[in-house]
C-alpha cells in the first residue's frame, strides 16, 4: 500500500546526493507518464542502455497502455516506488514523458525516497516528478533524456560527465550548428543559486502547489515544444503574477522547439514574447541554452548550486552532483 504525501510537507533544505552510476549497475526503466506509442522504441532504449554497459530492469507498466497513460495513477506510483525500494536498482530512467506524473505525486512516499537515494533522471513531463522529489526530500535529481529522446554522442557525454564520471560539470555554449535556437542575452550579468525548472507547460501546472520550491535566490530554467507564442506568453504571465520573476536570481530560457505561430501575421514571435517578459528584469537572463526537446541536449542537476553567465551563455556547477563510493 502506498503512503500518501501530505500537502503540509515543506521544502527540505538539506541536500542529498545519490551515488554515481557505474558500468554494470542496474537501471530501472519506468513508465510514470505516457504510454509508449511504439514498443520498438522501448526495446531500442534498452539496447542503448545495455550498449553503455548497464543492466536493465523493466517496470511493470512500460509495455502497457491506459488511454494516454501507461497504467492507472496508483499502478504508475507503485512501479516507481518499487524501484526506489529495490536495492539492486541504482538509477531510475523513464521510457517517455507525455502527461501523468503530477497525478501520482500524492501517492509517493517521500520519506522512503529520501532514505533510499538513487539517480532519478528524465525530462518533459518527468520534470514535475524531479522538482517535487528534490523539494520534498532534498535529493538531487537529474533533468536528462527519456527513452524516446536522443541519446547521441553529445547528449551521452553530458550524462556521463554528470552521473557516471561525477565531474564538476561546466556547460559551455556548443557550436552553433548543434543548436536550433541561437543564443541571446536578454539581461547581462552572472548569478548563482540552486537550479530548478523544466518544461514550461508542465511546471506551470504545478504553480500554487507544495511541490515547487521557495523561489528566492533560485536559478530558473524553462524549455518547451509545440506551443504557440501566445501560449508561452500566457504561461509566463502566470509566473509573473505569482511573483516568481521578482524572487529568482537568474533565468535560463533553453530550446523552445517548434514554438511558432500558426498565423504569423496575427502573432508576436517567440523572441518578442521573451523580450516583453524579461528585458526589463534586474536579473541575468539568456536564451538558447542547449537543453530541451532537441537532438543535442545537456543534462543538468535539479537542486544543485550553479552559476550562470548570461553574456557567455554558460552554466557551471559548484560541486559534483553525485558521489563515488570511495569519497
pLDDT tens for 237-290 read: 999 999 999 999 999 999 999 999 999 999 999 999 999 999 999 999 999 999
Q: Where are the alpha helices (DSSP H) in the chain?
A: 39-51, 73-85, 101-104, 110-115, 127-137, 153-159, 200-204, 229-241, 270-278
Beta strands in the chain (DSSP E): 26-30, 55-58, 89-94, 119-122, 141-143, 170-171, 184-187, 190-199, 219-225, 250-257, 285-287, 300-302, 305-309, 314-317
Pick the CATH number of 26-149 from 2.160.10.10, 3.40.50.10740, 3.60.40.10, 3.90.226.10: 3.40.50.10740
Active site amino acids: 124, 223, 293
pLDDT tens for 156-208 read: 999 999 999 989 999 999 988 889 889 999 999 999 999 999 999 999 999 99
Q: Does position 324 have pLDDT exceeding 90, yes or no?
A: no
Sheet holding 55-58, edge to edge: 55-58, 26-30, 89-94, 119-122, 141-143, 300-302
pTM of the model: 0.96
Count other Cβ atoms within 10 Å, centred on residue 323.
16
Per the prediction, the chain carries an average pLDDT of 95
Q: Does position 50 have pLDDT exceeding 90, yes or no?
A: yes
Q: According to the model, what pLDDT value does residue 326 have?
A: 62
Q: For residue 318, give the C-alpha cell.
A: 559548484
Alpha-carbon distance 7 to 10, whole Å?
8
pLDDT tens for 67-109 read: 999 999 999 999 999 999 999 999 999 999 999 999 999 999 9
pLDDT tens for 203-233 read: 999 999 999 999 999 999 999 999 999 999 9
Q: Does position 1 have pLDDT exceeding 90, yes or no?
A: no
Q: Any idea where the domains of the chain sit in the sequence? A: 26-149, 170-317
Q: According to the model, what pLDDT value does residue 12 have?
A: 86
Whether the Cβ atoms of residue 178 and residue 290 lie closer than 8 Å to each other: yes
Count other Cβ atoms within 10 Å, centred on residue 321.
30
Whether the Cβ atoms of residue 259 and residue 232 lie closer than 8 Å to each other: yes
Burial class (CB in 10 A: 0-12, 13-18, 19+), 68: exposed
Alpha-carbon distance 218 to 193, whole Å?
5
Q: Does position 300 have pLDDT exceeding 90, yes or no?
A: yes
- 8-state DSSP, 163: I
CATH 3.60.20.10 fits 170-317, yes or no: no
Sheet holding 184-187, edge to edge: 170-171, 314-317, 305-309, 190-199, 219-225, 250-257, 285-287, 184-187
Question: Comparing C-alpha atoms, which of 289, 300, 39, 23 is closest to residue 147?
Answer: 39
Amino acid at each position: 500500500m502506498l503512503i500518501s504525501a501530505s500537502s503540509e510537507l515543506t521544502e527540505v533544505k538539506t541536500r542529498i546526493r545519490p551515488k554515481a552510476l557505474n558500468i554494470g549497475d542496474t537501471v530501472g526503466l519506468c513508465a510514470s507518464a505516457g504510454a509508449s506509442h511504439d514498443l520498438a522504441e522501448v526495446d531500442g532504449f534498452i539496447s542503448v542502455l545495455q550498449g553503455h554497459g548497464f543492466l536493465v530492469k523493466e517496470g511493470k507498466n512500460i509495455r502497457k497502455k491506459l488511454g494516454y497513460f501507461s497504467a492507472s495513477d496508483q499502478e504508475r506510483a507503485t512501479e516507481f516506488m518499487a524501484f526506489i525500494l529495490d536495492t539492486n536498482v541504482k538509477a531510475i530512467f523513464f521510457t517517455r514523458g507525455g502527461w501523468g506524473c503530477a497525478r501520482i505525486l500524492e501517492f509517493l512516499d517521500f520519506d522512503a525516497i529520501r532514505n533510499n537515494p538513487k539517480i532519478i533522471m528524465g525530462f518533459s513531463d518527468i520534470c514535475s516528478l524531479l522538482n517535487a522529489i528534490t523539494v520534498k526530500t532534498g535529493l538531487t535529481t537529474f533533468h536528462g533524456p527519456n527513452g524516446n529522446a536522443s541519446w547521441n554522442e553529445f547528449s551521452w557525454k553530458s550524462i556521463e560527465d554528470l552521473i557516471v564520471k561525477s565531474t564538476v560539470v561546466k556547460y559551455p555554449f556548443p557550436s552553433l550548428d548543434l543548436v536550433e535556437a541561437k543564443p541571446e542575452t536578454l539581461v547581462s550579468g552572472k548569478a548563482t543559486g540552486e537550479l530548478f525548472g523544466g518544461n514550461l507547460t508542465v511546471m506551470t501546472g504545478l504553480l500554487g502547489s507544495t511541490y515547487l520550491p521557495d523561489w528566492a535566490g533560485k536559478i530558473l530554467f524553462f524549455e518547451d515544444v509545440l506551443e504557440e507564442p501566445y501560449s508561452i506568453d500566457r504561461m509566463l504571465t502566470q509566473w509573473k503574477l505569482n511573483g516568481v520573476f521578482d524572487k529568482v536570481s537568474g533565468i535560463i530560457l533553453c530550446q523552445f522547439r517548434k514554438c511558432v505561430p500558426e498565423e504569423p501575421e496575427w502573432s508576436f514571435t517567440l523572441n518578442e514574447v521573451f523580450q516583453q517578459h524579461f528585458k526589463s528584469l534586474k536579473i541575468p537572463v539568456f536564451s538558447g541554452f542547449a537543453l530541451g526537446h532537441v537532438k543535442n541536449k545537456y543534462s543538468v542537476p535539479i537542486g544543485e548550486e550553479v552559476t550562470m553567465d548570461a553574456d557567455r551563455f554558460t552554466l557551471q556547477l559548484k560541486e559534483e552532483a553525485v558521489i563515488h563510493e570511495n569519497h
